[in-house]
Structures are given as C-alpha cells and as structure tokens.
A and B are shown apart, each in its own frame.
Chain A
C-alpha cells in the first residue's frame, strides 16, 4: 500500500529583483560583456547570501514507527512503561536531558543551574519564551506544580516519587520567580541532574483535576487528545486502539537548530501497533514501516535485502538489559510455617561461593550467543553494560567456559559422584538437585536456561527447568521466597544508582536475600557503603572509582552469575538525514534534528 504524503508548505526562495532588470539590458559588445560579467556576478550573488534558503527546505514528511503494545496511558506520572514513555517522550519534556551520543546531561527546559557549595541547594534558571502547545507560557509554576502537587501527592501512586525521595525524605521545591526554581535536597544526590529529565506537566490544565482528585485517571487513552498539552516537539492527534497513534508537529515548539531553524523538521510521526515481531519484519520489508529493531536471528533475513529495499542496518553495540542466574541464599525462617525458606541442604550449596564459581564456569557464553542470538551478542562479566561507557568497568573477573575446571572446583569443595549415577553428591551425601525457574514469556531466556541446564547436567547437577508465568515468578522472588535458582533479566541503564534496590542489602530486589536487617556478609556491607557513598559523591571520577569497585566485588562474590548481552541492532530506511544511532539512544534520540530527504517527502 502506498502512503500518500501530505502536501506541505515549501518555502521556495524568490529571486531578487536585481536579476529581472539586468536580464533586459541589450547593449554594445563591450557593454554587453560588462553587463554579462555583472549578470554573472549578481546571478551568483544570491547563492552566497541565500545559500541556506536555496537549499531545499528540510521540513515535512512522516516517520512511521512500530510499537508492540498499546500505550497504557498518556499520563507520564502515573504510567512509566516503555509503551507509554515512547509516546509521552515526544509530548512532555524535563528540565534536563541526557544526550543520546555523549550520554552527558544537557540543559533542556532549564537553561542553566547553580549548585550551592554544600551540594544541597540547586537553583534552576528556566528557559524563557517556552510555551505550552495551547499557547500558555511555561513558567516555574508548572515545575513546582509537577513536583509538589503531582509527584509528591500522597493520593497519586507514581514511581517518580521514589526517584526523588532519599531515605524517606522528599525535596523542597520552591518558586523564586517566574523563571527560577529552587530545589533543596536533604542529602547530596549525584543522580539528581540526570533524574531531572522528569516530565513537567502544565499547571493551568491539571490544577483543578488534581483538586477534584481525578488525576489518576486523567490524560488516559480514553481522554480527548486535545487535552494532552506539553512543551515537546509533537502533539497527539489520533489514537485508534490496537491500530495506531499519530503525532503531529507542535508549531509552538521552542527549540531551534544550530542554524536557527525552527524544530522539529518531520511533520508527522505514526506509531503502528504491531504485536508480533515477525509481522513487523514483513511490514518493514514491505516499506510500510521505517524502523525495525532486530533480534540476532532476524539479521540474515534482512541484511541481504539492504540495498534492494533501501535501508541500513546499524549494530550499535551491546544492549543494556542483562540475563543472569541467581541462587537463593535466604537463611530466614518463614513466619507462617516456621520452617526455613530454603531447604537447609540446598542453602549450604547456594551459599557456598565455590559452588557458584563452578556454575559460572559451566556457562557456555559463546554458544549461547551463537545459538540464541545468531552470533550477534557479547559475553557479560560485569554488572554494567559496556554501552554505559563511563561507569563500565572492564577489569572484572571473568569466567570462561571450562567444565573440567568447574568439576575441579566442585571436587575441592566436597562435591563428587560417589555412587556413579552421574549426579554429584555433597559432603553429606545429598544428591545435588535443584529447580531453575524462569518466566515462560521470554523464549530467548527459556532457551538460554535450557542450555545452561544441560551444561550443569554434564557437570553432575540435576537441574529441573521450571518455566512459569511471570506473576508467579515475581511472587516467589518478592513474597514467598519459594525458589532455588532463577534466571531473570533486568533492564539496565547508565546510572548505577537507579539499580540500588538490587544491590543494597535491605533492598526488596536484592534477589538472593532481600530485605536484610543487617548486611549478611562483609562484601554486602561494603557494597552498601559504596552505594551510600557514591550517591552523595558529586565528583564523577570519584564516583567511578567506587562503582568500579562494586563491579569487581560482584564478579568475585557472584551473587548474580551473568550470561550475555544481546546486540542492539536496528534497521532504518534510508530516508533520513542527521542520524546518529547509538545503543543508548537508539536511532531517533535526536528526533527533532532529523529531517527527511527531499525525494521521500
């Protein structure tokens, strides 16, 4: 099906009046030569002066993307899943922004900021001339409203609140004048600037809704799209459930390019809702969609068609999410049954670091990459992804695939096969048998777990792969603690502190032993200290030293045994200019500056 591109306003430069006069001069040869010279000069003059305008305008055209599910809501405070933020990131903006290429924090709605010497007082100077898409001016009132009336509102459940609460204390947010806001922090908070990419919502439209206590269901997918007002480059114009979402350019957008051009260039963004990855691949090949992210297995399907179907495949490096194996080291007692959460004999294995080291050596990372990801992946040793760049520590302890070495380690710890049945027994004669849980929804993860299970069997451990529904798995990990080993995945990012609840010993996501009252071991105490120290350390290189140590400790103590990273590969149709794809930002992190080549409009 051919798309019909909407006609747009093209600004065609008008020739200056000088030309018209000269072209009608007919004189003698010398004069005519002189006039010819002048003519040539004036003809070329405009190309010097008006070169930018003569360049065909960059405006217009549409970008067609795909998303796997409907957005939950258009309310960025209440819903923060990727399906929602993919859309709301075009509509709402924060005071700062993370640059998709350099990964550094940049000013956005805030032009600049001052920090007091003790690091607790932050004064943001807001950009002037910014208006909401309904024409009302943006001001400090909106920032104060977003924090005090939305984020910190007890009646509104939002994870944004957790991001801006330290040790139970919230920040004080005050308006100084129309373009200045003051934040008073209870403690020094290094991730603060990065966290200030928090979306700001308009006070003038939402104040009354909040007072009537209706905010939780406001800005939902059933609302009038005209009510969704933001400062961002695009506005919602259409939403058909299950089918597509259309955003159109916000003509009042404040940002201009380096050459002074009003942004954004692209007129329309269409998100098609396609739930099946295979169908998306077909649509991409057919030309219906402009962008498609690839799994390793899809690569040989698309790569040969690159020239014919006019697109480019970008391999932007390792992904951020990781899959890892955790053993249950919880030695607590279930208050209801009065029995230990974990079978004591199993606990003695799982709590034994040598046991975990042996398992780490039994993970065939290269083969997992070959088989599950078609060779397009990276082995993982560290808790951070290499794509996190600054905080990534490459110098951690790695575990190569070596079954002989693994067996040796087990033997030294007393695990041998005494009765020749192929399964090792521990010092007390118990057969090593346990369950490896994973969630059935992710086929890649189940396949990885199945491969690891097979290898552990070669090692002499009887492992039962149990794949269960996601909710069941979460319930075990977070409430009942009824599990032996689990293979899960967590998405990562560039700011280590945002994963604190996994690494702090009292964190509820400290999977192997959540919510400890006291750190169970010396290394866990050290990690607690690192996180508490690093969050308050505003000097970046000093933070890096601390987080490097954390990654080294994790690789040594192996509370989590890492596997592989996928490669972040995506295909983009060759109709865009100014693309700077990266693993963190994807292909369109600088969407406002991207324009469509003329022949595709």
Chain B
C-alpha cells in the first residue's frame, strides 16, 4: 500500500504541471489582461498602463511568464495579486479560514444527515417516512442554490433571529468567548443550509439506492436465514458493501466544497475564497487564479488518493497492482 501511495504522489507531479500549464494558457489566451479596466479610464495614459504591465511581467511572452511563475512557485512564492496589490498568499490566508469553516460545517452537516437518512429510507422502503424523505430530497435537489440563499435571507429579514449574511456581528469584539462561537454559528446557518441542501439530497438518494441494492443480495438473505438480528444484517453486512461508491464521492466532495460556493458566498456576504476567485477569474487576476487553481487541484488529488485508500481498506476484494 505504501508503495502505491508513493507512486500515486509521484505521478501527481506531472499531472499538476500539466494542469497548471493548461490553466495558465486558458487564462492568457482570452484577449486582454487585468489592466484593461484601466484602458477605459480617460485619465490613464497608455504609458502608465505599460508601466503597470511591466511591473507584473505581463509584457513578456507567454512561456516566459509561465516559467517565471513556476520558478517562484518552487520557492513557495505565489506572486502578486493585481487587484489587491499585495502578495497572493496574504489574500488567500486572509480568507482561507473562513472558507474552511464553511466547508467543514457543510461537510459535517451533509454526511451526518444524509447517511442515516439514506439507510433509514432504505430499511423502511415505501413506507410513509420513505416517501416524505423522498419528497424532501427531490425538493432539495431541484432548488437553485442562489435562489434559496436569497429567499432565506429575505425570510430572515422578515422574521428576525438569524443574521443577514456576513461572518460576524458589528459588536463581535465585545462578546465573550462563548458568545463569539455562538455568533459564528449563527452566521453559518444560512450559508451552510444552502450549500448542504443539494448535497444532502443527492447523497441520501445514492445511499438509499445502494442500500436497497445490497439488501437484496443473496448474502443478506443468508444472514437473515441464519437468524442474525436485523440491525447486524443492515449495519454490518449490507452497509459495508453499500458504502463503496460513497467513498469515491467523499474524496470528490472534499475538493468540490472548497471551491464551489462562489455565488452563495457573494449573496450571503461570506468572506471566503469563492467570491474572491470568481472576481479574480473574470478580472484576469492571473496569479491569484493560478494559486487557487493549484490549491484546488492538489486538494482533488489528495481527496482521490484518500478515497482510493479508503476503498481498499473497506473492501478486501479491491487490490491495487
């Protein structure tokens, strides 16, 4: 297993290089660069714009810019953000924690709710609870998340109780430590609900589907015939097999959550990386985009590696040659 992990990590390096080059080209190939916004300002001369571009090496050929970026990456220097006029690492580090908390909350909420619900629905198939859960799942899947976010904020403003977006209240500094944690949790509620809802719904359906499949297998029949108690049949025998595709999904989720919530972060004024990256991509803030992309790629690779390891651990039939 260790050799396998080592080989996987080794292969990841050319993969990351490939992806970074592809992204670099994708961003640069579209016409214009970040300083185009200055070009529509009548008070800025072309010479000034040229100075800005020279400052960030944007006047050099594409390949040279790429190698310049790569060289700095090895030194762990992620370059400067054009928009924020400061090192990319400060932009990211200033918000990493915020996105991480939100993702963690969503991950926990999603998996702790969806898995038990899925099992429950499978075990009580076609009874009332299953049907109600189905309806809720479908509803959660069908709702466009940005719309749900807006709706929840609107309702919160009408009924009070929950804060209207943002991450901390105006009087945050005056609260006690316990008060601060509660304040943070209160602000997390709306964005977490919005982000998790669709994931909970789909995960629950998948869990239910897998469980149903497993519960029909011959070995389950055998186990029941043997006289094993039902909960052992379900949780020990069926569940372990049902969990196979979910493990792969878990690895994928890890990557998805850290990057995918841009629209919701903007609507809920959550100061995370997603919103920053969306603006950065549209404004062509080159180094910021590259850094976030590399971060996302590394996380994806790690997530996939993790899920493959977990797969091997949980299913003894899986062998990696």
Contact = CB atoms under 8 A, between A and B. Distances in A.
Chains A and B touch (C-beta atoms under 8 A apart): yes
Interface of A: 1-4, 64, 69-70, 72-73, 75, 78-79, 154, 156-159, 161-163, 165, 216-217, 220-222, 240-243, 270, 272-276, 278-279, 282-283, 285-286, 288, 441, 469-472, 474-480, 488, 490, 498-502, 507-509
A467 to B, nearest CB: 13
A472 B30 contact: yes
Nearest to B98: A242
Interface stretch (B134-142, B216-224, B268-276): B268-276
A159 B44 contact: yes
A470 B36 contact: yes
Contacts of B45: 159, 161-162, 165, 501, 508
A163 B95 CA distance: 36
A286 B33 contact: no
A357 to B, nearest CB: 26
Given A241-B91, A286-B157, A278 B171 contact: no
A275 B275 contact: yes
B231 to A, nearest CB: 46
Interface of B: 30-34, 36-49, 51-52, 55, 80, 83-87, 90-91, 94-95, 98, 150, 153-154, 157, 163-171, 174, 266-272, 275-276, 279, 282-284
Given A283-B164, A475-B36, A490-B42, A72 B271 contact: no
Contacts of B91: 241
A242 B150 CA distance: 19
A242 B266 contact: no
Nearest to B186: A1
A596 to B, nearest CB: 15
B56 to A, nearest CB: 10
Contact of A222 (B42, B44, B90, B150): B90
Contacts of B169: 1
B271 A273 contact: yes
A471 B271 contact: no
Contacts of A501: 42-43, 45
A272 B166 contact: yes
B267 A279 contact: yes
Contacts of A477: 39-40
Contacts of B166: 243, 272, 274
Nearest to A216: B55
Contacts of B47: 162
Nearest to A501: B42
B55 A273 contact: no
B84 A1 contact: no
A154 B55 CA distance: 11
Contact of B86 (A217, A240, A278, A441): A217
Contacts of B170: 1, 3, 64, 270, 272, 288
Contacts of A241: 91, 94-95, 271
A241 B88 CA distance: 13
Given A154-B51, A276-B269, 6 more contacts: A162-B47, A221-B86, A273-B271, A279-B267, A472-B31, A474-B37
Contacts of B267: 276, 278-279
Contacts of B30: 469, 471-472
Contact of A4 (B31, B37, B98, B171): B171
Contacts of B282: 441, 469-471
Nearest to B146: A276
Nearest to A280: B269
Given A162-B48, A282-B153, A480 B31 contact: yes
18 contacts: A72-B83, A157-B51, A158-B48, A162-B47, A163-B43, A217-B85, A240-B168, A276-B266, A276-B269, A278-B150, A278-B267, A286-B164, A469-B30, A470-B36, A471-B36, A474-B37, A508-B39, A509-B39
A275 B269 contact: yes
The 3 A-B pairs with the shortest beta carbon distances in the complex, nearest first, are A242-B271, A157-B51, A471-B32
B165 A508 contact: no
Residue from the set B34, B40, B47, B80 with the largest chain A CB neighbour count within 10 Å: B40
A334 B295 CA distance: 42
Given A243-B271, A285-B157, A159 B41 contact: yes
Contacts of B284: 471
B276 A242 contact: yes
Contacts of A157: 48-49, 51-52, 55
Given A243-B271, A274-B165, A72 B84 contact: yes
B86 A273 contact: no
A365 to B, nearest CB: 24
A315 B36 CA distance: 33
Nearest to B52: A157
A490 B43 contact: no
A487 to B, nearest CB: 13
Contacts of B36: 470-471, 474-475, 478
A222 B85 CA distance: 9
B111 to A, nearest CB: 27
A75 B270 CA distance: 26
Given A241-B91, A274-B165, A470-B37, A475 B31 contact: yes
Nearest to B171: A4
Contact of A79 (B49, B85, B98): B85
Contact of A1 (B31, B163, B276): B163
Nearest to A511: B40
B76 to A, nearest CB: 17
Question: Among B43, B98, B169, which residue has the most Cβ atoms of chain A within 10 A?
Answer: B43
A230 B290 CA distance: 35
A435 to B, nearest CB: 16
Contacts of B40: 474, 477-478, 488, 490, 509
A41 to B, nearest CB: 48
A295 to B, nearest CB: 16
A240 B41 CA distance: 29
Contacts of A243: 166-168, 271
B292 to A, nearest CB: 14
Nearest to A242: B271
A474 B284 CA distance: 13
Contacts of B275: 242, 275
Contacts of A217: 80, 85-87
Nearest to A503: B42
Contacts of A278: 150, 153, 267
A499 B86 contact: no
A360 to B, nearest CB: 23
A497 B276 CA distance: 35
A509 B42 CA distance: 6
A3 B80 CA distance: 37
A78 B84 CA distance: 11
A222 B164 contact: no
Nearest to A281: B157
B58 to A, nearest CB: 12
Contacts of A240: 168, 271
Interface centre among B30, B32, B47, B153 (most CB of A within 10 A): B32
A474 B266 CA distance: 25
Contact of B154 (A159, A221, A282): A282
B118 to A, nearest CB: 34
B171 A478 contact: no
B283 to A, nearest CB: 8
Nearest to B272: A242
Contacts of B51: 154, 156-157
A279 B268 contact: yes
A393 B43 CA distance: 23
B48 A73 contact: no
Contacts of A500: 42
